[in-house]
Amino acid sequence: MSTVDERPHEVALAASGTKPPLTQRPGLLSQHLGTALVGAIIGYAIGHWLGNTISSHYAYIVNSGQNAIADTLGLMFGVAGWLLGIGALNYPLAKLVGRQPNSEVEIQGWSKYFRYSTNHKTVGLQYVVGVLLFMFTGGLLAMAIRTELLSPTTHVFSPDTYIKIVSEHGTVMMMMATSIVVGPLGNYLVPLMIGSRRMAFPRIEAFSFWVFVAGYMVIFSALPFGGFPTGWTGYAPLQTQSGPGMVSYLFGFAVIGLGMMAAGFNIAVTIINYRAPGMTWSRVPIFVWSILATAALLTLATPTLFAAGVFGLLDRTVQTAFYVTEHGGSSYLWENLFWFFGHPEVYIMALPGFGIAGEILPVFTRKPLFAYKVGAAGMIGVSLLSFFVWQHHLFQSGINPDMRPLFMLTTELISIPTGFIYLVGMGTMYKAKIRFDLPMLFVMALYFNFLIGGVTGVFLSDVPVNVTVHGGFFVLAHFHYTIMGGLLFAFMAGLYYWLPKMTGRMMNRRIGLWHFWTMFIFFNLTFFPMFIIGLLGQPRRVFTYAKNLQGLNDFSSISAFVLGFSFLIFFFNLVWSLYINPVKAPANPWDSLGLEWQTATPVPAHNFDRIPVVLADPYHYSEVNAPAVADLGPASPPDEPSLSGAPA
Amino acid sequence: MNETHHLRRMTIAWVIVSVVADVLFWFFVGPHVPPGRMTDMATSNQFDFNILFVIALPVLIGVWIYLGYTIVVWSAKRGGPEPVGGEAARTNRTAQVAWITITSVVVLFLAGFGTVELVVNHGSGGGEGPNPVWSPAGATKAEAAALAGTGTWSPHSGQVLPVQVIAQQWKFTYRYPTFGGFETTQLVLPTNTTIVFNVTSLDVTHSFWAYQLGVKADANPLINDVAYTATTQQGQFVVRCSELCGIWHGAMYNYGRVVSQQAFATWAQQTEATNAANTQLLPAFAWTYTPDANGAAGGYYPDGKVTPYSSAEVYGAKQPAS
Ligand code: HEM
Ligand SMILES: [Cu+2]
Ligand SMILES: [Cu+2]
pLDDT in tens, B215-257: 999 999 888 999 999 999 999 999 999 999 999 999 999 999 9
Considering the domain architecture, whether residues A77 and A138 belong to the same structural domain is answered as no
- Give the number of the ligand closest to the Cα of residue B205: 3
* Stated length of chain A: 648
Considering the domain architecture, whether residues A52 and A136 belong to the same structural domain is answered as no
Cα separation, A339 vs A319, whole angstroms: 24
Considering the domain architecture, whether residues B172 and B271 belong to the same structural domain is answered as yes
Burial class (CB in 10 A: 0-12, 13-18, 19+), B312: exposed
- State the Cα torsion A166-A168-A174-A176 to the nearest 10°: -130
Residue B322 lies in a domain: no
Considering the domain architecture, whether residues A494 and A530 belong to the same structural domain is answered as yes
Question: For residue A293, how far is the Cα from the chain centroid?
Answer: 14
We report the CATH number of the domain holding residue A503 as 1.20.210.10
Residue type, A187: N
**Which residue, B311, B122, B161, B118, is CA-closest to B224?**
B311
Considering the domain architecture, whether residues A81 and A183 belong to the same structural domain is answered as no
Domain ends where: A560, A580, A600?
A580
Give the pLDDT mean for B304-320: 37
Q: What is the pLDDT of residue A25?
A: 55
Alpha helices in A56-194 (DSSP H): 59-64, 68-86, 90-96, 120-148, 159-179, 187-194
**Which residue, B184, B206, B213, B119, is CA-closest to A468?**
B213
Residue type, A465: V
Share of residues in chain B with pLDDT > 70 (%) = 89
Number of CB atoms found within 10 A of residue A97's CB: 6
DSSP string, B259-274: E-HHHHHHHHHHHHHH
Cα separation, A214 vs B123, whole angstroms: 45
Query: Among B52, B63, B225, whose Cβ lies nearest the Cβ of A398?
Result: B225
Give the pLDDT mean for B260-284: 93
Considering the domain architecture, whether residues B152 and B279 belong to the same structural domain is answered as yes
Q: What is the pLDDT of residue A625?
A: 86
Evaluate if residue B135 carries a pLDDT over 70: yes
Q: What's the sign of the alpha-carbon dihedral A298, A300, A301, A307? A: positive
Considering the domain architecture, whether residues A418 and A552 belong to the same structural domain is answered as yes
We report the CATH number of the domain holding residue B165 as 2.60.40.420
B72-77 long-range Cβ contacts below 8 angstroms, 24+ apart: B73/B6, B74/A365, B74/A429, B74/A430, B74/A431, B74/A432, B74/A433, B74/A434, B75/A433, B75/A434, B75/A436, B76/A366, B76/A433, B76/A434, B76/A435, B76/A436, B77/A436
**pLDDT, chain A, mean:** 90
State which residues form the domain around B108.
3-75+92-120
Considering the domain architecture, whether residues A36 and A171 belong to the same structural domain is answered as no
Number of CB atoms found within 10 A of residue A227's CB: 23
Give the pLDDT mean for A540-560: 95
Cα separation, A274 vs A276, whole angstroms: 6
* Residue pLDDT, tens place only, A406-418: 999 999 999 999 9
pLDDT class of A523 with cuts at 50, 70, 90: very high
Residue B205 lies in a domain: yes
CA of B140 to the centre of ligand 1 (A): 34
Considering the domain architecture, whether residues B146 and B253 belong to the same structural domain is answered as yes
Considering the domain architecture, whether residues B110 and B151 belong to the same structural domain is answered as no
Residue A622 lies in a domain: no
Contact A470 CB / ligand 1 (< 6 Å)? yes
Considering the domain architecture, whether residues B44 and B105 belong to the same structural domain is answered as yes
Residue B115 lies in a domain: yes
Evaluate if residue A465 carries a pLDDT over 90: yes
Considering the domain architecture, whether residues B222 and B104 belong to the same structural domain is answered as no
Give the pLDDT mean for A128-140: 94
* Residue pLDDT, tens place only, A328-351: 788 999 999 999 999 999 999 999
Number of CB atoms found within 10 A of residue A406's CB: 15
Contact A483 CB / ligand 1 (< 6 Å)? yes
Cβ–Cβ of B205/A331 closer than 8 Å? yes
* Residue pLDDT, tens place only, A479-501: 999 999 999 999 999 999 999 99
Considering the domain architecture, whether residues B242 and B276 belong to the same structural domain is answered as yes
Across the A/B interface, how many CB contacts are shorter than 8 Å? Answer: 292
- Give the number of the ligand closest to the Cα of residue A229: 3
Q: CA-based angle B32:B251:A226, to the nearest 5?
A: 130
Residue B81 lies in a domain: no
More confident residue, B95 or A633: B95
A466 touches chain B (CB under 8 A): yes
Q: Is the pTM of this model over 0.95?
A: no
Q: What is the pLDDT of residue A77?
A: 97
Contact A233 CB / ligand 1 (< 6 Å)? yes
Residue B111 lies in a domain: yes
Residue A495 lies in a domain: yes
Ion ligand 2 residues within 5 Å by Cβ: A 343
Q: What is the pLDDT of residue A585?
A: 93
Residue B302 lies in a domain: no
Give the pLDDT mean for A304-331: 90
pLDDT class of A101 with cuts at 50, 70, 90: confident
Residue A20 lies in a domain: no
Cβ–Cβ of A444/B67 closer than 8 Å? yes
Considering the domain architecture, whether residues A92 and A145 belong to the same structural domain is answered as no
Considering the domain architecture, whether residues B111 and B10 belong to the same structural domain is answered as yes
Contact A146 CB / ligand 1 (< 6 Å)? no
Residue B129 lies in a domain: no
Q: Which residues of B touch A447 (CB under 8 A)?
A: 63, 67
Q: CA-based angle B159:B163:B167, to the nearest 5?
A: 170
- Domains identified in chain B, total number: 2
Q: Which residues of B touch A546 (CB under 8 A)?
A: 238
- Give the number of the ligand closest to the Cα of residue A482: 1
Considering the domain architecture, whether residues A520 and A555 belong to the same structural domain is answered as yes
Cα separation, A396 vs A399, whole angstroms: 8
Beta strand A106-107 with A23-24 is parallel
Considering the domain architecture, whether residues A63 and A136 belong to the same structural domain is answered as no
Specify the DSSP element, H or E, that contains B238. strand B235-241
Considering the domain architecture, whether residues B11 and B69 belong to the same structural domain is answered as yes
Considering the domain architecture, whether residues A182 and A68 belong to the same structural domain is answered as no
State which residues form the domain around A458.
118-580
Residue A465 lies in a domain: yes
DSSP string, B71-84: HHHSBGGG--SPPP
Considering the domain architecture, whether residues A91 and A182 belong to the same structural domain is answered as no
DSSP-assigned beta bridge partners for residue B100: none
DSSP-assigned beta bridge partners for residue B253: B240
Q: What is the pLDDT of residue A634?
A: 67
A509-535 vs A489-503: helix crossing angle, rounded to 10: 160
Domain ends where: A565, A580, A595?
A580
State chain A's maximal CA–CA distance in angstroms. Answer: 81
* Residue pLDDT, tens place only, A49-63: 999 999 988 888 888
Considering the domain architecture, whether residues B143 and B252 belong to the same structural domain is answered as yes
Contact A382 CB / ligand 1 (< 6 Å)? no
* Residue pLDDT, tens place only, A140-192: 999 999 999 999 999 999 999 999 999 999 999 999 999 999 999 999 999 99
**pLDDT, chain B, mean:** 87
Cα separation, A347 vs A229, whole angstroms: 26
Q: What is the pLDDT of residue A64?
A: 79
Task: Count CA atoms within 13 Å of residue A396 on its CB side.
Answer: 35
Residue B30: DSSP 8-state? G
Residue B151 lies in a domain: yes
More confident residue, A283 or B77: A283
Q: What is the pLDDT of residue A632?
A: 85
* Residue pLDDT, tens place only, A271-289: 999 999 999 999 999 999 9
- Domains identified in chain A, total number: 2
**Which residue, B314, B291, B289, B301, is CA-closest to B130?**
B314
Considering the domain architecture, whether residues A368 and A415 belong to the same structural domain is answered as yes
Residue type, A387: F
Residue A309 lies in a domain: yes
Residue A596 lies in a domain: no
Considering the domain architecture, whether residues B103 and B202 belong to the same structural domain is answered as no
Peptide bond into A590 cis (omega under 30): no
Rg (CA), chain B: 27
Domain ends where: A68, A99, A130?
A99
Say what the ipTM of the complex is. Answer: 0.90
Q: What is the pLDDT of residue A110?
A: 81
User: In A, residues 379-438, which contact B (CB 8 Å cutoff)?
Assistant: 395-402, 404-405, 408-409, 412-413, 415-416, 419-420, 422-423, 426-427, 429-436
Considering the domain architecture, whether residues B165 and B272 belong to the same structural domain is answered as yes
Is residue A358 within 8 Å of A286, Cβ to Cβ? yes
Cα separation, B160 vs A510, whole angstroms: 67
Evaluate if residue B214 carries a pLDDT over 80: yes
Residue A127 lies in a domain: yes
Contact A480 CB / ligand 1 (< 6 Å)? no
Q: Write the CB contacts of B72 (distance below 8 Å, at least 6 apart in sequence).
A: none
* Residue pLDDT, tens place only, A466-481: 999 999 999 999 999 9
Best to test chain B binding among A162, A397, A423, A444 (most B CBs inside 10 Å): A397
**Which residue, B244, B242, B225, is CA-closest to B163?**
B225
Q: Which residues of A touch B56 (CB under 8 A)?
A: 455, 458-459
Give the pLDDT mean for B112-125: 94
